[in-house]
């Protein structure tokens, strides 16, 4: 399965996407909102920054923002950034190589179809469908 680190990264980007246009979010805010250990999140956000997904503002009133619109960041981008490629073709091919390639292809296909704008929308729909209706 996906590592916690990677899941934290996805959640952090999602939080930043929701906050986009409202100034920077501090590490602590993101950590609180998504239940991520703050010191761990710090390293993750630095990683995301180095790969061009986030930008940071230092000093007081500082924090993190997305470097690009949520629409232009795909789940697959973040996953590849944190986990590296799922399968790397080696020099010698056996019967299984082509199958790992196929698996990689379909997996990439799934996560690259989803950008963070659509994740926000999905999240809203999920919240809507899960809100219990207490009316009589």
Partner DNA sequence: GACAATCCCTACTAAATCAATAGGGATAGT
Partner DNA sequence: ACTATCCCTATTGATTTAGTAGGGATTGTC
| Distance separating alpha carbons of residues 14 and 8, to the nearest angstrom | 10
- The answer to whether 22 contacts DNA (rule: CB under 7 A) is no
| Residue number, 73 or 115, with CB nearest to DNA | 73
37 is a contact residue toward DNA (CB under 7 A) = yes
Measured in degrees and rounded to the nearest 5, phi and psi for residue 91 equal -75, -40
CA-based nearest residue to 54, from 20, 29, 7? 20
- Give whichever of 60 and 130 is closer to DNA, judged by the CB atom: 60
Determine if 52 is a binding residue for its own copies (CB under 8 A). Answer: no
Residue from 23, 32, 52, 62 binding DNA (CB under 7 A): 62
Of 23, 81, 30, residue with least CA distance to 52: 81
Task: List the helix and strand counts (H, then E) for the chain.
Answer: 6, 2
Total chain residues near DNA (CB under 7 A) = 25
Per DSSP, the three-state class of 11 is helix
The residue whose two tokens read 């999602």 is 14
The H-assigned helical ranges of 20-93 are 27-34, 38-50, 75-83
By the rule CB under 7 A, 28 interacts with DNA = yes
Q: Which is nearer to DNA, 32 or 125 (CB)?
A: 32
Contact letters for its own copies, residues 3-32 (x by CB under 8 A): ----x--x---x------------------
Interface residues with DNA (CB under 7 A) are 3-5, 24-28, 37, 39-40, 42-43, 45-46, 49, 56-64
């Amino acid at each position: 399965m996906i590592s916690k680190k990677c899941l934290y990264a996805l959640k952090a980007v999602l939080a930043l996407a929701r906050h986009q246009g409202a100034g920077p979010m501090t590490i602590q805010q993101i950590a609180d909102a998504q239940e991520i250990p703050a010191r761990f999140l710090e390293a993750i956000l630095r990683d995301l920054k180095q790969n061009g997904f986030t930008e940071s503002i230092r000093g007081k009133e500082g924090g993190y923002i997305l470097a690009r619109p949520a629409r232009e960041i795909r789940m697959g981008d973040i996953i590849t950034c944190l986990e590296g490629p799922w399968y790397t073709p080696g020099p010698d091919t056996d019967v299984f190589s082509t199958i790992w390639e196929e698996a990689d292809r379909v997996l990439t296909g799934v996560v690259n179809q989803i950008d963070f704008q659509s994740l926000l929308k999905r999240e809203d729909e999920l919240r809507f469908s899960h809100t219990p209706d207490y009316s009589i």
